[in-house]
Structure 1
Amino acid sequence: MSSADDPKTARQPQPPSHAMVGTWRLVSYDVEVASTGERFPAMGERPTGYTIFSGEGRVWFMLTGDGRQPGDSDRDRAQLLETLIAYSGRYRIEGDVWVTAVDVAWNPAWVGTEQRRQFALDGDRLQVRTPWRVMPNWADKGETRSIITFERAVEG
């Protein structure tokens, strides 16, 4: 039986052949306010993080805020969750949107959801925008969206 006739092979998802495949280092994470156009650094001036798009169709996404310190108390450790975004899942590309079917996340409410992100590639820069919505962290500002910029990481 040829591999084309093998049911196991036929059911395998095809690896993405997209320019996003690879490792991307976080450059900035801003939040934009719809009503005013105001932008502010949501996780400080120098947040850290990476996103990795595998050729097999999985994405890993982890961002941490600027100036994080180890927590000594339960309260300190719980507050560290406010400066962390981390999730992984299978992804697909739909035009200029990447969609992640989340199967593990720092926030259990995301597990089993699809997270949609608009993106733009410009050489080795990747800019990601979340949909406009009222986010709990900045509910007083009305609708906001995240604008996250990465650059292709040179591993070596």
Structure 2
Amino acid sequence: MGVAAGEAILVGTWRLVSYIATDTSQQCVAHPLGAAPRGLLIYTADGHMSAQVAGVGSRTGLKDPAEPGTSLDRPLYVGYGGIYEQHGDQVIHRTVLGSLPEVDRADVTRTVEVKGDTLILRAPSAVREWDEVVLTWRRVRETLLAATAT
């Protein structure tokens, strides 16, 4: 198993820059993992992938932990791994394990946009208060230890 030519642009390690949720009807943006979320996304040349995101926020989506004065519910973590396929501007993560039922042994589809060393993944939100989640990633070019120090 290997990746097709179009998927090669995804191969590598990506660090999470931002995780936002939007409600287009209310024209509002939330930060469900707080103002400084952490995450790693890894795509291998042989078609495997792993995604991990963490932060401090509200699982309900009713509060935005990035807003001053907002109480923080608890640390949050979502992770999954498996294989991936890219079809045009869509990537499908076919998971073999996941930390939540929604991503455990599931097909997790994201819309892909790559701009240089920036990867933007969009998906419909699993939380009804939001329409869409947008995860922005930056390619890791240095060792992982140096990447986590910033």
**TM norm. shorter chain > 0.5:** yes
In angstroms, what is the RMSD of aligned CA positions? 1.8
TM-superposed deviation, 1:16: 3.8
More strand by share: 2
Matched, 1:147 2:140: no
Structure 1 counterpart of 2:62: none
5+ residue gaps in structure 2? 58-73, 144-150
| % same residue | 26
Query: Residue 65 of structure 1 aligns to a residue in which SS?
Result: strand
Kindly report which structure 2 residues correspond to 1:3-152, keeping only aligned pairs within 5 A, or say none.
Answer: 13-17=1-5, 18-66=8-56, 80=75, 83-131=76-124, 133=125, 135=127, 139=128, 141=129, 143-152=130-139
Runs of 4+ residues over 4 Å off in structure 1? none
5+ residue gaps in structure 1? 1-12, 68-78
Structure 1 counterpart of 2:60: none
Query: Residue 19 of structure 1 aligns to a residue in which SS?
Result: helix
- Give the distance between the partners of 1:32 and 1:149, measured in 2 at CA: 14
Computing the radius of gyration from Cα coordinates, the structure with the larger value is 1
1:62–1:85 CA contact under 8 A, matched in 2 = yes
- Give the distance between the partners of 1:117 and 1:89, measured in 2 at CA: 15
- Give the distance between the partners of 2:17 and 2:43, measured in 1 at CA: 17
Specify the code of the residue in structure 2 equivalent to 1:85: V
TM-superposed deviation, 1:39: 0.9
TM-score by length of 2: 0.76
TM-score by length of 1: 0.73
Tell me the number of residue pairs that the alignment of Structure 1 and Structure 2 aligns. 125
TM-superposed deviation, 1:60: 0.4
More helix by share: 1
1:89–1:104 CA contact under 8 A, matched in 2 = yes
